[in-house]
Structure 1
């Protein structure tokens, strides 16, 4: 299916996903700098956020932060 798309069409398809992932990563790193964390040190959460991409961000935001 993707091999039938031209390059501009493929870019239009992937660009919104890239922007969402980038925004979620930046937001997660911002929250990491401001919040207290659970289970792991901050440097470990940073690695999970960066290398885990979308799933790493979601895991940090759901279980990695201490709620006030």
Structure 2
């Protein structure tokens, strides 16, 4: 199973990078999300989500549950 947004223009979803995170400030203006944001909506119930933060000087990322 793959999770993410497949753009309408994608001819083969297995060969493209799936988008799974977009900022609320830019979702209405980014060409890839613009039309879908205006015409389709979805609610996904969740108790939280993870954001990843890279420590200074370290290449490893630490998950933070929000």
TM-score over 0.5 (shorter chain): no
Q: Which has the higher strand share?
A: 2
Q: Which has the higher helix share?
A: 1
TM-score of the pair, normalised by structure 1? 0.19
TM-score of the pair, normalised by structure 2? 0.20
Q: Which has the higher contact order (CA 8 A, sep 6+)?
A: 1
